[in-house]
Structure 1
Amino acid sequence: MTLKTRLMTAAAAIAVTAPIATASTAFAAGFALKEQSVSGQGTAYAGVTAGGNGDASSMFYNPATMGLVTGIEAVQTATGVIVKSKVDSASATRAQRLGGTAISGNASPGDIAQDAIVPAGYFVYSIDDDLKVGLSANGPWGLVTDYGDSWIGRYHGIRSDLRTYNFVPTVSYRINPMIIIGGGVQIQYAKAKLSQSSDFGASRLGRPGALDVKSDVTGDDWGWGVSLGALIEPVKGTRIGIGYRSAVKHSLTGNISFTGLPASLAGALPSQAANADLITPEIASIGLYHEVNDRWAVMADVQWTNWSRFKELRVNIANPALNSLTEEHWKDTWYYALGTSYKVTDKLTLRGGIAFDKGAVDVEYRTPRIPEQNRYWLSVGAGYQVTDSLRVDAAYSHVFVPKASVNLTDDLTGAEAGRGNLTAEYKSSIDLIGLQAKFTF
């Protein structure tokens, strides 16, 4: 095996296996992770659907952009996600029919989000000038929020943990000098853990607050979907990209376990089978890339996400009396981004971008598991051609998140009866620091 072959094989292996090494968990739009391209992050992902970022990482958003790759290319990204979502001075009371008494516990759990590193990897091989094949590995959906077992909203949720791993074999083909099409198959693994407490004293003993029982539900599943796209270049230097990623359906199967019961009652709630359905929403996007001159380019992206699929969070237990239901009522969302890039020299490119990311849930349905809100992006980035075969990109984004509130009322009717009234306010922000390497052969 020649040195070139060994390097190419190593780069491909790193690119498609790195997402296995680090969990993809972040507080993002809904539970979507946009952090799949550092070169794209520099423009707040404006133009990525049209391949405006200039490397194979755009195939996550539009598989047809693989057709812009020449030769063999491997891209590895890593984005540090620094999340703050702070809760102070929340309040919780029992339903009026249970006396309306205050629920004891920690009213200020502080930062309930979790920082993470989100990696992604891409590999593209050119069979000829028109036909390309590739493979990508990503974590497109993820979330972790954790309030601690003693917080006053524990009956609504304690820990929410979702992690996904996506592997997408992809092919693109240039039909004519103007049009490229592409498609791939999403092979997705998902695993989740949900924790919360129940007021066992109120429901079983007639003494509200006398006994809390914590439940932990875990489950996982494999699912599949498709990724499709087209790239149109009506004139040289101007491209329009259209991308689509389908929904992926999961039936997460696992078990539920209980803690907090005294020994005399332990047999009443044994560990048992549990399952929950999860559908990651489909995403459609359109992107524009236009070269104003040989140094300066402008770009835009619009993305639609079908969050209205997320109507409820239902957990089915072997003992149906223990089934859990949380109503969500999410809405479809839109993401709008504008960006620009400027080639300072033939080796150095600077980028900038802004974006608006619409929240998916109205305040009356917002829950502490995912305290969702609008987001405003401001991004900068740079790329440098280190050698003929190595390019390095870096990016920084600050995501401004307005204050969000949770206001849940318990009248002892409906699916969430007995969880109590809860009021909480969230002060949140997100910082993203990305680093990317592109290898060409």
Structure 2
Amino acid sequence: MTLKTRLMTAAAAIAVTAPIATASTAFAAGFALKEQSVSGQGTAYAGVTAGGNGDASSMFYNPATMGLVTGIEAVQTATGVIVKSKVDSASATRARRLGGTAISGNASPGDIAQDAIVPAGYFVYSISDDLKVGLSANGPWGLVTDYGDSWIGRYHGIRSDLRTYNFVPTVSYRINPMIIIGGGVQIQYAKAKLSQSSDFGASRLGRPGALDVKSDVTGDDWGWGVSLGALIEPMKGTRIGIGYRSAVKHTLSGNISFTGLPASLAGALPSQAANADLITPEIASVGLYHEVNDRWAVMADVQWTNWSRFKELRVNIANPALNSLTEEHWKDTWYYALGTSYKVTDKLTLRGGIAFDKGAVDVEYRTPRIPEQNRYWLSVGAGYQVTDSLRVDAAYSHVFVPKASVDLTDDLTGAEAGRGNLTAEYKSSIDLIGLQAKFTF
């Protein structure tokens, strides 16, 4: 095996296995993870659907952009995410018909989010000038929030943990000098854990607060979908990209276990089978890239996500009397980004971008599991051609998140009956630091 073949094999292996190490937290609207390209991050992802970032990582947003790759290319990205979502001085009471008494516990759980490293990998092989094949590996959806077992909102949720791993074999073909099309198959693995407490004292003993029982639901599943795209170049230096990622349906199957019951009652709640449906929503995007001159380019992206699919969080348990339902009523969202790049020299490129990421849920349906809100992005980045075969990109983004509140009322009717009234405010911010390497052969 030649040195070149060894390097290609190593680069491809690193690129397509990277997401196995991820620890996910939601950094875009809902539980989407937008951090799939560091070169794209530099412009707040403006222009990525049109391949404006200049490397194979744009294939996540539009598989047709693989047609811009020359020869063989491997891209490895890693984004460090420093996320804060702090809760202080929350309040919780039981329903008025249960006396309206205060729920004891920790009212200030502090930072409920977790820092993470989000990797992604890409590999593209040029069969000919017109035909390309590739493989990408990403973690496109994820969420981790953890309040601790003793927090006063524990009847609404304690820990929420969703992780996904997406592998997409992809092909692109240049139809004519103006149009490239592309498509791939998403092969997606998802696993989740949901924890919360129930006021067993109120529901079974007639003494609210006398006994809490914690439940832990775990499950996983494989699903599949498609990724489609087109790239149009009406004139040299101007590109329009259209990308689509389909929904992926999962039935997360696993079990539910209970802790906190005294030995005399343990037999009343044995561990048993449980499942929950999960649909990761479809995404459609349009991107524009335009070269003003041989140094300066401007770009934009608009992205739609079908979050209205997420109407409820329902957990089905072998004993139907234990089934759990949380109404969500999310709305579709839009992401708008504007960016620019400037070639200082033939080796050094600087980038900048701004974006608005619309939140998916109104306050009346916001829950402590996903207390998400609008986001405002400010990004900068740089790329440097180290050698003929190695390019390195770095980016930094600060995501401004307005205060968000949770205000839930329990009147002992509906799906959330018995969970109590809960009021909480969240102060959040996100910092993203990305590093990327592109290898060409």
**Where on the TM-score scale, by shorter chain, does this alignment land: which range?**
over 0.9
Q: CA deviation at 1:29?
A: 1.4
Query: 2 CA distance for matches of 1:57 and 1:15?
Result: 10
Deviations 1:377-409 (Å, cap 9, x if unpaired)? 000000000000000000000000000000000
- How far off is 1:8 after superposition? 0.5
- String of CA shifts for 1:262-313, please: whole Å, max 9, x gaps: 0000000000000000000000000000000000000000000000000000
Identity of aligned residues (%): 98
Whole-angstrom distance in 1 between the partners of 2:18 and 2:231: 28
What stretches of structure 2 of length at least 5 have no aligned partner?
A: none
Cα contact 1:277–1:314 (8 A) shared by 2? yes
Find the residue that maps to 2:20 and give its secondary structure: helix
CA–CA separation in structure 1 for the residues paired with 2:31 and 2:388: 38
Does the residue aligned with 1:175 lie in a helix, a strand or coil?
Answer: strand
The 3-state SS of whatever aligns with 2:364 is helix
Shift of 1:27: 4.0
Shift in Å at residue 65 of structure 1?
0.1
Match of 2:136 in 1: 136
The 8 Å contact of residues 142 and 163 in structure 2, kept in 1 or not, is answered as yes
Give, in angstroms, the shift of residue 190 of structure 1.
0.1
Aligned counterparts of 1:17 and 1:265: Cα–Cα separation in 2: 46
SS at match of 2:176: coil
| CA positional deviation for 1:198 | 0.1
Cα distance between partner residues in 1 of 2:26 and 2:88:
21
Alignment deviations for residues 54-75 of structure 1 (CA, whole Å, 9 cap, x no partner): 0000000000000000000000
C-alpha distance in 1 between matches for 2:81 and 2:166: 19
Shift, 1:376, TM fit: 0.1
CA contact (8 A) 2:43 2:338 kept: yes
Maintained 8 Å contact 1:41/1:379: yes
Q: Distance in 2 between matches of 1:389 and 1:333?
A: 39
Q: How many Å apart are 1:24 and its aligned residue?
A: 2.9
Task: Indicate conservation of the 8 Å contact 2:22/2:139, yes or no.
Answer: no
Q: Is the 8 A contact 1:38 1:435 kept in 2?
A: yes
- Deviation of 1:50 after TM superposition, in Å, equals 0.0
- Where does 1:56-135 land on structure 2 (aligned, <5 Å)? 56-135=56-135
RMSD of aligned residue pairs (Cα, Å):
0.5
Provide structure 1 residue ranges, at least 5 long, that are not aligned to the other structure.
none
Give 3-state SS (helix, strand or coil) of 2:89's partner. coil
* Contact 1:26/1:115, CA 8 A, preserved across alignment: no
Q: For residues 188-267 of structure 1, what are the structure 2 equivalents within 5 Å?
A: 188-267=188-267
Structure 1 residue ranges (4+ consecutive) displaced by more than 4 angstroms after TM superposition: none
For 1:401-422, what per-residue CA distance to the aligned partner results, in whole angstroms no more than 9, with x for missing partners?
0000000000000000000000
Contact 1:27 1:113 in 2 (8 A): no
What do the CA deviations read for 1:238-277 (whole angstroms, capped 9, x no partner)?
0000000000000000000000000000000000000000
TM-score, normalization by structure 2: 1.00
The number of residues matched between the two structures is: 441
SS in 1 for 2:304: strand
Q: Secondary structure at the match of 1:20?
A: helix
Find the aligned partners of 2:376 and 2:122 in 1 and give their Cα distance. 28
In 2, the alpha carbon distance for the partners of 1:148 and 1:81 equals 21
TM-score by structure 1 length? 1.00
TM-aligned CA deviation for residue 22 of structure 1: 2.5
| Contact 2:229-2:241 at 8 Å conserved across structures | yes
Say if 1:26 and 1:81, in contact at 8 Å, map to a contact too.
no
In the TM superposition, residue 372 of structure 1 has moved relative to its aligned partner by 1.0
- Post-superposition offset of 1:26: 3.4
Alpha-carbon distance in 1 for matches of 2:433, 2:342: 20
CA distance in 1, matches of 2:301, 2:6: 37
Deviation at 1:202, TM superposition (A): 0.1
Instruction: Tell me which residue corresponds to 2:289.
Output: 289
- Give the conservation status (yes or no) of the 8 Å contact 1:26–1:83: no
